Amino acid sequence: MDKLKCSSFFKCRGKEKVSASSENFHVGENDENQDRGNWSKKSDYLLSMVGYAVGLGNVWRFPYLTYNNGGGAFLIPYAIMLALAGLPLFFLECSLGQFASLGPVSVWRILPLFQGVGITMVLISIFVTIYYNVIIAYSLYYMFASFQSELPWKNCSSWSDKNCSRSPIVTHCNVSTVNKGIQEIVQMNKSWVDMNNFICINGSEIYQPGQLPSEQYWNKVALQRSSGMNETGVIVWYLALCLLLAWLIVGAALFKGIKSSGKGVMFTALFPYVVLLILLLATLEGASIGISYYIGAQSNFTKLREAEIFCSPATQIFYSLSVAWGGLVALSSYNKFKNNCFSDAIVVCLTNCLTSVFAGFAIFSILGQMAHISGKEFSQVGKSGLDLAFIAYPEALAQLPGGPFWSILFFFMLLTLGLDSQFASIETITTTIQDLFPKVMKKMRVPITLGCCLVLFLLGLVCVTQAGIYWVHLIDHFCAGWGILIAAILEIVGIIWIYGGNRFIEDIEMMIGAKRWIFWLWWRACWFVSTPILLIAIFIWSLVRFHRPNYGTIPYPDWGVALGWCMIIFCIIWIPIMAIIKIIQAKGNIFQCLVSCCRPASNWGPYLEQHRGERYKGMVDPKTEADHEIPTVSGSRKPE
């Protein structure tokens, strides 16, 4: 974050043109853009985009949302929200990054007043990156713990307490006693009954749910969880080592930029599909139970009358596709200018959504098997989020023949799912540095990339203390919510309503070729009307549903909640700060300055001169002028 403190970030300064050299690991001889580099192959880009969009939420959030919102009925509003909000935003961001060949901060040459939106995206990505790698560390730990003849959480052990049980625990019961020759029936504590060798009267037992061995293992062994956020405790050393390993993997995959990460995703993006297919085929007779609750006979189509069934899929689509995080712009900025970003957006979005549906079959098949074996209602085993990944699913796998093998497979899948998204998030950060300091990045890509990983590892150590899980939930609760929604709303309003939707369409046609008016009819309807309205509705809905964070039944302290607000305020405060700075830098009276900041900068346009054509023939070379320079009110380019 030092780049935000550098005065040169806010002031106009010249940049020397940097030619490709042997020192630059990021550029190949055949790259179209010799300053920034391009993807080696189209497949590298597509797999990176799929890996970025398809993450842990596809496995542990979408299936539960489907089950909780009417099963098969949920897929109807989900498809509608994909068409109205998800795909239009995805296409917009891919087109934006590819057209200018710039990352999420510098791309706001398109509308200098809104450059703070790009900074907000990058800062939120940094916060999320910190805790996301902690979840990857959890997956690594469980994967290593699975290399035993019997899974350690299969049965209650020395680390468990008296509440550890797969079946309900008797707390009280009625016993028959004799008092002064009179027989009485009294209710007593079960421990007293056992100590005094009494026998419970059949049918009088009072039960309380027991804690599964996997739940106690998660809290007592894996996390060594403290009683609350106020009790930090010590760093859990094996989680810290797993976190270090996770960052070493990320650093090794990214030290050459997209040239190395593109090779890594060939495996990490495809392997989860193999595992999901194996898990789906491996389920036994209980699978039908889970699938019937997922999208089968237990589907409840009366849910379509409720407003929430439309808000939930809209929120899921928005976060699942990773729009407004900056990663889509960053990854697309390395495409060749004439790449068909429209077909890419269609392919990646459909792949992401179909993966979510497919993952649901695999997840619910195993949970159905668990309900069948344990004799419990499905509602008792259906979980979401971390509880699904590290409590419910490990419990289900422990009951299958060959449990360690399935467990290793499952957690390795979680590892690859997480790494894909992590690669893109770090690439978002390094792309931002690349755009701001290209000469430094060319010479020092490896130390800068590894330095970023080291700093983020050190910041993440608080998340592997005994109170670490509370920090993970706190950052997720605040940073991965409103800030992204605000950035997305301002992004579409700025580009479509201020820069101009029709002008932006002309920019896209410079890349993918001219299209008939009917082709753009749908996209105009979405960009101008439906998508911004839906985003605003989601934002209002999230405000109405806001609640004070807690972990299970444990509330967060006041200072923890205040810290969460400080984190999100720190991320979004740059939007007004940068707007004020841009207005101050502009020339003229306040009205002229405001109008000037709402026009593209003089160096906005295609990065390479060969692609500028007649429309951008007057633009200033972006390689020789700062990205934040503000044009005069009249502008320096031929009017559109």
Q: How far apart are CA 280 and CA 291, in angstroms?
A: 11
CA angle 11/12/17 to nearest 5° reads: 130
Instruction: Encode 433-451: b = buried (16+ Cβ within 10 Å), e = exposed.
Output: bbbbbbeebbeebeebbbe
Here the tokens at position 319 are: 């976060």
Q: How far apart are CA 103 and CA 440, in angstroms?
A: 16
Q: How far apart are CA 223 and CA 390, in angstroms?
A: 11
Q: How far apart are CA 516 and CA 509, in angstroms?
A: 10
Segment holding 343, helix H or strand E = helix 341-374
Q: How far apart are CA 65 and CA 44, in angstroms?
A: 31
Show binding-site residues for Na(+): 51, 53-54, 58, 320, 352, 417, 420-421
User: Which residue type, as a one-letter code, is found at position 367?
Assistant: L
Q: How far apart are CA 141 and CA 135, in angstroms?
A: 10
**Beta-strand runs (E) in 56-198:** 169-179, 182-189
Show binding-site residues: 51, 53-54, 58, 320, 352, 417, 420-421
Residues 6 or more apart from 357 whose CB is under 8 A from it? Answer: 62, 75, 295
Interaxial angle between packed helices 287-294 and 341-374, expressed in degrees from 0 to 180 and rounded to the nearest 10:
130
DSSP 38: -
